[in-house]
Amino acid sequence: MMRLPDFELRRPRTLAEAATILAGEGPAARPLAGGTDLLPNMKRRQQTPRVLVALGEIPGLRTFTNGAALAIGAGTTLAALAADTRMAQYGALAQAAARVASPQLRNQATLGGNLCLDTRCSYYDQSEPWRRAIGCCLKKDGDTCWVATASRRCVAVSSSDCAPALVALGARVRLVSREGTREVALEDFYRDDGMDHLVKRPDEILSAVDVPDAQGWRSTYWKLRRRGAIDFPVLGVAAAVKRDTAGTIEAARVALGAAGSRPFLVPQASEALIGRTLDDATIAATARRVAARAKPVDNTDFETRWRKDVATQLVSYALRELRGEDLGAIRRRF
Ligand SMILES: Cc1cc2nc3c(=O)[nH]c(=O)nc-3n(C[C@H](O)[C@H](O)[C@H](O)COP(=O)(O)OP(=O)(O)OC[C@H]3O[C@@H](n4cnc5c(N)ncnc54)[C@H](O)[C@@H]3O)c2cc1C
């Protein structure tokens, strides 16, 4: 059995109190939300914070408001998010949240934790003795990236389901510290660096996610994983389109997850879609353009070439669904 290392648990009641603790303790402290990522990582000694700042007793982090736009508190659980009827207009996010891990984990896991999820790699997500046996890796305690041995950059992969969905929806995040609040577009929240993948400073708390009004938009999320009941994504495709009454696409955003160290928008997809209808030729051309941007490396599940091929398929499923086809039978296979 793997045991947690010693740590001090702090339980602030307000965001300001939490920000003060994080500022005072420095990088040795970390926010703790549902703990479904951080605590297993601590058991494997991948992350060893001395102080955990539990966010669960801060009521403001669980607020959920929808006016013209949607403001989701970072402490909202993924189960609550997936079940909320106000999410009907934000299909990609509801589907992504509903496909994270398993029901038990979604009851505990939060949106904030999902967006700040550590990057993953088959040479990193191992017990401490396993990692030490190969001399550790670039991301933790070593100096070699075992996936790309010549690389000076860690290629651990972003594995959040909600991140690409929210990037496609044009979301922004609010970051709170003792110095105040700043807002960042979610697509700029991530760096293409498996070790240092967030622009968030250690003293900042992600307090809320703002999603623009989705009036006139339809969005969806498709996920590749080995077991439909629990696994992390090895590819995530989120697509959102806005069409006029004739079906011509006025705006479109397609984002990929688990295809690099950060989730990212594919501008070539917007170029291929805007001004056209969702006919078969447009869908095929868009799928090819998106798949060309997916460059999976050999550090998660499945063969990389095949994962790239599946990107073509998932994009076309997503766009066919957005034009109104019922793909329920295909969806059940994922
Ligand atoms: C078996 C298993 C399967 C999983 N499958 C999936 C999957 O399919 N898809 C997926 O996306 N994830 C998956 N996960 C990972 C994890 O369960 C989810 O990503 C979850 O949403 C993490 O949220 P949490 O609240 O538990 O985060 P925590 O574990 O509490 O925190 C995760 C990280 O975020 C930081 N953090 C948390 N909240 C904040 C905040 N408000 N502000 C600043 N920093 C914060 C923490 O310091 C920590 O670094 C899986 C985990 C397990 C164990």
pLDDT at position 296: 79
- The model's confidence at residue 154, banded by pLDDT at 50, 70 and 90, is very high
Number of domains in the chain: 1
pLDDT at position 156: 96
205 to 50, 122, 282: CA distances (angstroms) = 17, 28, 41
Has residue 295 got a pLDDT over 90?
no
Q: What is the DSSP string of 209-237?
A: EEE---TTEEEEEEEE-S-TTTPPPSEEE
Residue 185 falls within a domain, yes or no? yes
Mean pLDDT of 285-304: 89
- The model's confidence at residue 183, banded by pLDDT at 50, 70 and 90, is very high
- For the domain that residue 241 is a member of, what is the CATH number? 3.30.390.50
70 to 62, 145, 146: CA distances (angstroms) = 13, 40, 42
With CA atoms as reference, report the closest residue to 116 among 29, 190, 188. Answer: 190
Q: What is the pTM of this model?
A: 0.96
Mean pLDDT of 58-73: 87
CB 312 within 8 A of CB 203: no
Residue 236 falls within a domain, yes or no? yes
Has residue 67 got a pLDDT over 80?
no
Angle at 84 between CA 81 and CA 89, to 5 degrees: 95
pLDDT at position 260: 93
pLDDT at position 15: 97
pLDDT at position 60: 87
Has residue 180 got a pLDDT over 80?
yes
Residue 199 falls within a domain, yes or no? yes
Mean pLDDT of the chain: 95
- The model's confidence at residue 252, banded by pLDDT at 50, 70 and 90, is very high
3-state secondary structure of 151: coil
Domain that holds residue 257: 59-115+158-331
Residue 98 falls within a domain, yes or no? yes
Mean pLDDT of 120-130: 95
pLDDT at position 84: 92
- Decide the pairing of beta strands 70-73 and 205-211: antiparallel
Mean pLDDT of 108-120: 98
Residue 146 falls within a domain, yes or no? no
pLDDT at position 1: 82
Residues with CB under 6 A from ligand 1: 30-38, 40, 55, 74, 78, 100-101, 105, 109-110, 112-114, 116-118, 159-161, 205-206, 230-233
Q: Find the 284 Cα to ligand 1 centroid distance in Å.
A: 34
Residue 2 falls within a domain, yes or no? no
Q: Tell me: the pLDDT tens digits for 217-242? A: 999 999 999 898 899 999 999 999 99
Residue with CA closest to ligand 1 atom 17: 36
Mean pLDDT of 156-161: 96
Has residue 289 got a pLDDT over 90?
yes
Distance (Å, rounded) from C-alpha 77 to C-alpha 75? Answer: 6
Residue 177 falls within a domain, yes or no? yes
Distance (Å, rounded) from C-alpha 50 to C-alpha 21? Answer: 12
Q: Find the 158 Cα to ligand 1 centroid distance in Å.
A: 12
| Amino acid (one-letter) located at 294 | A
Distance (Å, rounded) from C-alpha 46 to C-alpha 123? Answer: 11
- The model's confidence at residue 9, banded by pLDDT at 50, 70 and 90, is very high
The percentage of the chain sitting over the pLDDT mark of 70, rounded to a whole number, equals 100
The percentage of the chain sitting over the pLDDT mark of 90, rounded to a whole number, equals 85
Mutate to test the pocket of ligand 1, among 95, 117, 166, 206 (most ligand atoms within 8 A of CB): 117
Q: Find the 279 Cα to ligand 1 centroid distance in Å.
A: 38
- The model's confidence at residue 50, banded by pLDDT at 50, 70 and 90, is very high
CB 197 within 8 A of CB 119: yes
Q: Find the 78 Cα to ligand 1 centroid distance in Å.
A: 10
With CA atoms as reference, report the closest residue to 249 among 221, 282, 220. Answer: 282
| Amino acid (one-letter) located at 152 | R
The ligand 1 atom nearest the CA atom of 77 = 25
The ligand 1 atom nearest the CA atom of 205 = 42
Residue 34 falls within a domain, yes or no? no
Mutate to test the pocket of ligand 1, among 37, 181, 231 (most ligand atoms within 8 A of CB): 37
